[in-house]
Structure 1
Amino acid sequence: MKRSKIRIGSIQGLSTTVSLLALMMVGSVAQAQTAAPQEEAPATTAPATSNAQQASGTVAPSADPGQVADAAPAADAAAPGDIVVTGVRASLQSAQNIKRNSVQIVDSIVAEDIGKLPDRNIAEALQRISGIQIQRNFGEGSSVAIRGLTQVRTELNGRDIFTANNSSNALSLEDVPSELLAGIDVYKNPSADLIEGQLSGTINFRTRKPFDFDGFKISGAATNTYYDLVKKSKPSASLLISDRWDTGIGEIGILASASYQKTSFRQDTISTEPFYTLDPSNANDAATLAALGRNGQTTTLPHGTGIGEVFGDRRRLGIDVSLQWRPTDTLEFTGEVFRNDYKLRSYGYSYFAYTSGASITPQPGAVFTYAPNGDFQSGTFTDVPIGNNTSIGSRHSVTTDYSLNGKWKPTANLTITGDLQYVDSKTDNLNSIVGLSGVATTLTQDISGEVPAFQITSANGLANPATYSKGFYLDNLNNSKGTDKVGRLDGEYRFDGGILSSIKAGFRFADRRNRTSDTGYRYTGLTGAATNLRYVDLSGFFRGQADLFGDIQAFSLPTVLSYDDTRQSLGITSTPGYVPSGTNTQAQKTYTGYAAAFFKADDLPVPIDGNLGVRVVQSKVAVSGFYQQVDLITAPDGTQSTAAPTFTEVNEANTYTSVLPSLNVRGRLTDRLQLRFAASKNISRPDFNQLNPSLTITEPGTAQIDQQHVTSTGNPYLKPMKSTNFDASLEWYFAKSGSLTVAGFYKDISNYIQTVITPRNVTFTDGVTATYDVTTYNNASKAKVKGAEVAYQQFFDFLPGALSGLGVQANFTYVDSQAPSPASDGPVTQLSLEGLSKYNYNLIGIYERGLISARVAYNWRSEFLVTTSANGTGNLPQFQKASGQLDASITANITPHLSLTLNGTNLTNTVRSTYYGITSRPRDLIMSDRQISGVARITF
């Protein structure tokens, strides 16, 4: 018999104002014939336990695929003759049920229909959840912070998932096509049965299974997206096929889904180079102060400026195949293969005039202006080195996840679950840069306006090859491979009656390994006149809003797009070689046991339920790498080439045991109002790149000697971060898709890991001495994070006529942090945690009535610390200013099987702006594409 179906929808909504949305939509919806379904208050019933609950909204925590939290009241199941809720309304209802019924504090996004998350990028979908803030990479969301912390755990169906690289232990959120997912759950506080390894929360990505459907199911979609800055269109498509059968050996189901996405982008950046305050005790600085007439006055000058025009494309290919077998009513097996294949390519030009740490010379007689604090605002410099780079960077990552789950119920009260998993992930990277250098006659800057302006002049002109007297080539190859072997066994015994409802216990073993091999940047000096140059028209840069220096000549970009053609053009026959010293490895084994007691006391004046448990985990970590130094050989004719590297091996191992208790309690004040409290401890191990001991120092060539020299390494002696967490929330569910919730949280963190830059002087064998800014990490002693969240959603069914389809989602997050700051230059030495905005909000307007479904979403976050001190910043902290982004979509459900959607992203052309410590010292101004996409979707 076929079950009643709820077609589930997404939590994403839309926003500016309800009145604006009403004006936009009222003309369209006047023709709609179908009345919106009315909502009723949820009744107090226990949810059923079935695989379909993954689709309907009650899903397992990460530790236990298939577990359903049933201590809370659930919404009524659809009775015969009831209106079946679909679309956005159903998605909000499903996500609300997950939050309401979960044992932990959790927020969810549920796909409105098959392959239809609210945003095509996972990180951008997550930003709609209260407490989540995202970072962007080339215009797309790429990483998230939960409640101000970036130490996030990523899971696929409750299991480890990651992208092999040397920068994180987690999944790169831009890699996975969102069409493969049924929903995303964000667990904001741990419990004993959740896998450890995060400070801020766990993000669990859920795929669909064949038993989620009653029988045969097929769904497909085709999309075309236009990117207005790069002026290109790119396609994408997805397909899901699923069926299930009753056979002689039991019920069997098979599901296969695939998604293919191509995207394009362009990113324009205007940069101001590091600011240095003149020191009157330094002879060069004293002379500069005198020339400026600033003796006795605090004076800070930038040491240059530049632009970057970067083009690029992404390709995502995702495949998910799952097989389910239920031989008896008490036994079920699920096998799944999930594979995502991601390619990113970025290429373009950068042009800059700067002196790095060397003094910059004001033009005699030029007019200079300053901010009240002595910071430079405008003026002209002379004889400034210029650089002109044409480059490409590419990444190709493939992650395959194999899993097998068995669930056995030998009695009505006992459930035993076994789980095996193997993850294999590989990443290959390439960086190739052709650089030209010369000297500018003058550099005139004006950073007083909203968009910095600057002019560069040279004797021969910037579009003349004769301007560039020197050149160099840099290339770098690296690859990473990561594997994870995991086995676990869990048992749960449910009691009939009494306060103790169930006991759970389990064991887990994981063997995670990562290896990264890197050639290091190979330097090749170029001699003679620059060849294979192309004229570059910069008139459309920054949408024509920038006052710049005109057009340039640069090395041919079409040539740089091919690594082989680039080397052939430059007469370089070989590729840089991998040597033992370029390889680092990390191995991490964890042995875990946990026990948790679940309780329920319905007879108290305020019924309560929850769990009390403890998780004990032993971690064994071993890392190895090399210190490598690469000198240059200078030939009699002045040409330079790299010498054989010298290196020293570094090994370190560490073992530690963590005891992690947790308590989760919920009080059901009324059928609609509940109060939660949670207390727990958790750990977050250092990322592999943070532990990587490898360090490479390469001697700069003559064309680079005046530039800033940077490198990076990890710290193999880092300790895991530990947190003590307290959470509370008050949740009012006044309708099936209507709620108002308030949450507060506090985290006390020890051994917090921060980024620091340490200068290191290196003398090479030919006597050349250079100073390198080495980016690395250390354990700060303490950090504290506290804050609050407010979230509200509702459909306004009480409004007359067409207006009854209006709805709204809104949430606001406040996060405050305290942490010791590493040494940083300039006026700012007390810093918040990296990536943390104190305030952020989402305002989402929704319309759903008849054939029309529409959403307008505005996301805003206040300023935040990008990094305490990054390469190229002169050891200054870098902040990003407050910004918001407007996205929208409208869907016409032409038939029950066909829908057409129009999406718009970054409609307000948001420009992201960063600065050094204080706003009178701008860093970057970044502009990305607006995107318009059309989607056709068919489901049977």
Structure 2
Amino acid sequence: MKYRFLCTTAIAVATTLSPVCAFAQDAAQLAVADSGDEGQVVVVTGSYRRSLEKAVDIKRKTTGFSDSIVATDVVDFPEQNLAEALQRMPGVTIERNKGLGTRVMVRGLPAEFTHVSINDLATASGSGGRDVEFDMFASEIIQQVTVHKSPTAADEEGGIAGSVDITTARPFDYKGRKLVAAFEGAHNSISGETDPRMSFLASNTWGDWGALVSFATTKRTNRTDANSGINFRPAFRFLEASGARGTQAADVLARDAGVVVKSRTDRNETGRIIFQDKVGDRVYLNEQDKWGATVALQYKPSSDFNLAFDAMVGSYDSTEDEYDIAAYSASSRSTFETIHAYDKTTLADYGMVVLRDVSYTATQHEFLSKERINETDYAQFGGELNWRGDGWKLRALAGYSGAEKTSDYANLKHVAYAPSRTRWTDKGGETVKSANPASIDMYNASSKYLFEAYETNLESVTDDKAAAQVDYTRFFGLSSFPALQTLQFGLRYTDKSKERQYGALNIQGPTAGSTAWLNTRTLANSELQWIGDIVPGGDYTVSDLDWQQVSNDYARRTFRYAGFYTPFDVSQYYKVDEKVTTVYAMADFAFDLGSVPVAINAGARYVDTTVNSAGYHQVQNPNGTTGYTPAPVSKEGTYQKLLPSLNFTADLMDNLVLRGAASETLMRPALTDLAYKRTASWNSFRFTDGNPDLKPTYARQWEIGIEKYLPEGGLLAASYFSKTIEGVVRSTLTGTVPNVTKYNANGTIDGVYEFDVYQPVNAEGSYDVSGLELVAVVPFGLLHERLQGFGINANYTLLDSSLTGSSTLGIPTAPIGLADNTYNITLYYENDRFDARASYNYKDKYVEGIGYEMYPIYRDGYGQLDISLSYRLSDRAQVSLKGINMTDAVTTGYTMDPSFPTMYELSGRRISVGLRFDF
């Protein structure tokens, strides 16, 4: 059974709260209406406490494990998008990118393991994987979100981590006309910019017909200052070089650190000698322009028949300027000159020596002005039929979801080669002049930097998904078998397609094909501005550094000659089509086991999948001529699977529920991993290929929990879950390509190397993920009458996993993305006119990636405090004050040990003031 919970009063906290939540009515009102197939439509009063109460009610009435947030809670805090709203749910964490929540992870598993649907239709977002980029959705147009953690047979995908079910509003969710508008201004503490935000809803019904329109638009300007890019680099970068470079590297290691290299080609030895790869001081300015709208039409002549059409459209445009001054110590011309400090103890358990402070012979100093322009347009259309007869129910739906994403990337690069000294600091790293007379002050030597290239990349992704489903339910009241309540049968068909075009072109002169600027034009020949003048907000905040750089606006105007465009490269094209047919059957049972009422849902679904991957591979030119030519190639694969599921509840006593679930489910590989394509990582000396033969990742999972329901929507719950996952997709070395010529950006030859080829493959064996989840929703008025209005909403998730990351050096590595501990705590107070809320969410450290397939790179534990205050001026007006990251938390990370930091990012606080009006 599904429930749609809708907020309507004006006493909810957030000014930018979903307009469907904002209409003023009596605070005690609670309207319940039959909606045919959908179960109950519950119109919830607009307070945070009432929204919690209804979310708890959803959890109680659902057979499986789930958690929900309804409209007031979806945008009740100063969230910048839907991902940040979801982070307050039990077991849900998010990835942050420069202060903004992006992808959603359930119970610590990768974002790709979570299935997302809007109005029961799979959602396209234009990403390269199965994950959905939540930052593109305006949270104001979302009505309700439920995270299902145990699947039923009728689900389109179980989702190994879980399924996020997003619901938008419909006109018959209300009684009569609704008209709401909300406005907000938000200020970022670093950029100093104030951004507008607006939302609107209009809904009405006319007899059997109803229509609803909602709209939201947001602008966001956020600045992030960072000292980052400080990764481990294995010493084989220098030791394997021919001639004097390799010999000198070995001699300096022996002279200054007492490290005698036995074999310069044994990477198991040289991969354990570490120096700093690169140190960068960076300023990011991210500007976003986002809007979203929904349209819903309904025909409802009776409670037994309901026909609905839903549309959701929107656009998400993002421009990110990155201004980066960096020292690439591992340049192709350089080697060790002097080792000033080294560390043989911190990572001694792995036989590793870390060179903490080193002077280099020819560091590649870089001024980089980078511009990333992403434009995403998305649309979803769906129709739904609900028809109930005498003892039966029919539901049918069909719809389309599509997204088109274009990414335009540019990088203006100036380079100066000179000796310098690079070392770790408590915030990351720094580069200073070395004792070599030829060393330079890298921040103030613009005439030394030669133009290398204005690099451009252009990518276009089209993501389309279509689905149709028919579901028939038969109700029973058999005297011979009273336990049988329903039998349900269904058929679902989905068609997914992802197409990608990509191209790259470097500009090195004032006209097409010209190289006139190489080795002649310097950084000083361009218009330079102080970094604090290029971006709003003033001086660099991580340290007292200051420098002059080329703005992206000037770079685009100056270096893109008339008629310039980035052509698509046919060899980078791919298209993946996936067709899935699913049939399922399940039954509901209800009976008493002694004095204990028991409800069971049991079923199975059979999935039949066909995948066609088309692209290009490189074929050597005929007749012995040099080079390769892209040739079209395609491959089809199929797989089938039967997936059982079981969910049950037992009411042990009044308001005490035992809940359990067991199932087998799958998550299909990312379409980009299935594609025929080859991507080159020149600095890592490797190619990455797609793999059309990939199969899904499967999971066998179970969960058991106990839930105590308290008055006034209170809840105390604990559950233990376990997942056995097999066929996980990992990137693995599958071959080598000899004699690959690597070029520098200026056209000179860097060298001829053997490149490794990595492919995603289904790893052998399985691993276990288990965890404990605790939930407490407690209105303090239950403890003492003087505490009426106060309360807490808290959850905690503890995870454990047998999975280890893939390190070619055998270094123990936690699974990527899995944090052992996460928790959320919200304290609230509310009365008839005033609301106050403070929420702290925390995610423990986790592995963000594995550098060079060797070294685990960790993101430090991160906690953020958000607040929300609201006062109702009248029945039709409300004012609010909200804040994001009030403690000004810093995002940090490290490689293997905190004494080797990799990043230090400041994104600042965000304070907003808003008004909402009800008409």
Q: State the TM-score, normalized to the length of structure 1.
A: 0.84
State the match for 1:195 in structure 2: 156
2:530 to 506, 525, 536: 536
Q: State the AA in 2 paired with 1:535.
A: Q
Q: State the AA in 1 paired with 2:90.
A: S
Q: Distance in 2 between matches of 1:859 and 1:367?
A: 39
Q: Where does 1:61-72 land on structure 2 (aligned, <5 Å)?
A: 66-67=38-39
Secondary structure of 1:877's partner? Answer: strand
State the match for 1:746 in structure 2: 722
Structure 1 residues 761, 178: CA separation in 2 closer, same or farther (over 3 Å shift)?
farther
Q: Distance in 2 between matches of 1:567 and 1:627?
A: 33
State the match for 1:160 in structure 2: 122
Structure 1 residues 111, 603: CA separation in 2 closer, same or farther (over 3 Å shift)?
same
Q: Distance in 2 between matches of 1:685 and 1:367?
A: 48
Secondary structure of 2:35's partner? Answer: coil
1:92 to 49, 52, 60: 52
State the shift of 1:687 in Å: 0.9
Q: Distance in 2 between matches of 1:603 and 1:725?
A: 25
Secondary structure of 1:112's partner? Answer: helix
State the match for 1:288 in structure 2: 252
Structure 1 residues 612, 434: CA separation in 2 closer, same or farther (over 3 Å shift)?
same
1:844-901 deviation line (CA, Å, top 9, x unaligned): 11111231111111111111011234xxx57432111112111111111222322111
Contact 2:803 2:814 (8 Å CA) reproduced:
yes
Contact 1:36 1:805 (8 Å CA) reproduced:
no
Secondary structure of 2:151's partner? Answer: coil
Structure 1 residues 11, 161: CA separation in 2 closer, same or farther (over 3 Å shift)?
farther
Q: Distance in 2 between matches of 1:362 and 1:764?
A: 24
1:664-688 deviation line (CA, Å, top 9, x unaligned): 1100112201011111000110011
Q: Distance in 1 between matches of 2:713 and 2:811?
A: 46
State the shift of 1:556 in Å: 3.2
Contact 2:184 2:196 (8 Å CA) reproduced:
yes
Q: Distance in 2 between matches of 1:259 and 1:868?
A: 39
State the match for 1:428 in structure 2: 406
State the shift of 1:265 in Å: 1.1
State the match for 1:611 in structure 2: 601
State the shift of 1:740 in Å: 0.3
Sequence identity, in percent?
Answer: 23
What RMSD over aligned residues (CA atoms) do the two structures have, in Å? 3.4
State the match for 2:641 in structure 1: 658
State the match for 1:58 in structure 2: none
Q: State the AA in 1 paired with 2:655.
A: R
1:763 to 740, 745, 767: 740
1:483-506 deviation line (CA, Å, top 9, x unaligned): 222111111111236211111111
Q: Are 1:587 and 2:577 counterparts?
A: yes
2:907 to 919, 928, 931: 928
State the match for 2:185 in structure 1: 224
Q: State the AA in 2 paired with 1:193.
A: A
Contact 1:116 1:179 (8 Å CA) reproduced:
no
Q: Distance in 1 between matches of 2:898 and 2:619?
A: 39
1:537-584 deviation line (CA, Å, top 9, x unaligned): 469999766456x43343333224x4xx2443xx47431212432320
Q: State the AA in 2 paired with 1:501.
A: Q
State the match for 1:557 in structure 2: 552
Q: State the TM-score, normalized to the length of structure 2.
A: 0.86
State the shift of 1:437 in Å: 0.5
1:729-771 deviation line (CA, Å, top 9, x unaligned): 1111011321100011111111011345777555249985246
Q: Distance in 1 between matches of 2:600 and 2:837?
A: 36
Moved more, 356-365 or 928-937: 356-365
Q: Distance in 1 between matches of 2:496 and 2:399?
A: 11
Moved more, 740-749 or 597-606: 597-606
Contact 2:114 2:163 (8 Å CA) reproduced:
yes
1:148 to 105, 108, 118: 108
Q: Are 1:695 and 2:678 counterparts?
A: yes
Q: Distance in 2 between matches of 1:547 and 1:142?
A: 28
State the match for 1:245 in structure 2: 206
State the match for 1:59 in structure 2: none
Q: State the AA in 1 paired with 2:521.
A: A
State the shift of 1:514 in Å: 1.4
Structure 1 residues 583, 111: CA separation in 2 closer, same or farther (over 3 Å shift)?
same
State the shift of 1:795 in Å: 1.2
1:455 to 419, 432, 440: 432
1:417-445 deviation line (CA, Å, top 9, x unaligned): 11111222211110011101012332242
Secondary structure of 1:409's partner? Answer: strand
Q: Are 1:257 and 2:214 counterparts?
A: yes
State the shift of 1:121 in Å: 1.7
1:682 to 638, 644, 665: 665
Contact 2:35 2:306 (8 Å CA) reproduced:
no
State the match for 2:771 in structure 1: 787
Contact 1:755 1:775 (8 Å CA) reproduced:
yes
Q: Where does 1:49-64 land on structure 2 (aligned, <5 Å)?
A: 50-51=34-35
Q: Are 1:669 and 2:627 counterparts?
A: no
Q: State the AA in 2 paired with 1:513.
A: S
Contact 2:88 2:824 (8 Å CA) reproduced:
yes
Structure 1 residues 160, 293: CA separation in 2 closer, same or farther (over 3 Å shift)?
closer
1:493 to 455, 469, 474: 474
Structure 1 residues 848, 236: CA separation in 2 closer, same or farther (over 3 Å shift)?
same
Q: Are 1:818 and 2:794 counterparts?
A: no
State the shift of 1:111 in Å: 1.4
State the shift of 1:340 in Å: 1.8
Moved more, 171-180 or 362-371: 362-371
Contact 1:9 1:110 (8 Å CA) reproduced:
no
State the shift of 1:794 in Å: 1.1
State the shift of 1:629 in Å: 9.7
State the match for 1:910 in structure 2: 889
Q: Distance in 2 between matches of 1:406 and 1:147?
A: 34
Q: Are 1:406 and 2:385 counterparts?
A: yes
Contact 1:10 1:92 (8 Å CA) reproduced:
no
Structure 1 residues 48, 536: CA separation in 2 closer, same or farther (over 3 Å shift)?
closer
State the shift of 1:233 in Å: 0.8
Q: Distance in 1 between matches of 2:603 and 2:97?
A: 40
Q: Distance in 1 between matches of 2:492 and 2:251?
A: 67
Contact 1:824 1:877 (8 Å CA) reproduced:
no
Contact 1:889 1:903 (8 Å CA) reproduced:
yes
Structure 1 residues 816, 890: CA separation in 2 closer, same or farther (over 3 Å shift)?
same
Q: State the AA in 1 paired with 2:371.
A: I
Secondary structure of 2:819's partner? Answer: coil
Contact 1:10 1:91 (8 Å CA) reproduced:
no
Q: Distance in 2 between matches of 1:542 and 1:739?
A: 48
State the match for 1:42 in structure 2: none
- Which ranges in structure 1 are unaligned for 5 or more consecutive residues? 14-34, 40-46, 53-64, 70-76, 79-83, 632-642, 701-706
1:816-856 deviation line (CA, Å, top 9, x unaligned): 1122532334xx62222211101111121111123111111
State the match for 2:879 in structure 1: 900
Q: State the AA in 2 paired with 1:813.
A: T
Secondary structure of 1:375's partner? Answer: strand
State the match for 1:716 in structure 2: 692
Q: Where does 1:361-376 land on structure 2 (aligned, <5 Å)?
A: 361-362=335-336, 364=338, 372=346, 373=348, 374-376=353-355
Q: Are 1:839 and 2:821 counterparts?
A: yes
Q: State the AA in 1 paired with 2:423.
A: Q
Secondary structure of 1:821's partner? Answer: coil
- Which ranges in structure 2 are unaligned for 5 or more consecutive residues? 15-25, 241-245, 262-271, 509-514, 744-748
State the match for 1:888 in structure 2: 867
State the match for 1:23 in structure 2: none
1:111-162 deviation line (CA, Å, top 9, x unaligned): 1289757734211111111111110122111011111212100010111112
Secondary structure of 2:134's partner? Answer: coil
**How many positions carry a matched residue from both structures?**
849
State the shift of 1:802 in Å: 6.2
Q: Distance in 1 between matches of 2:772 and 2:430?
A: 41
Q: Distance in 1 between matches of 2:879 and 2:733?
A: 51
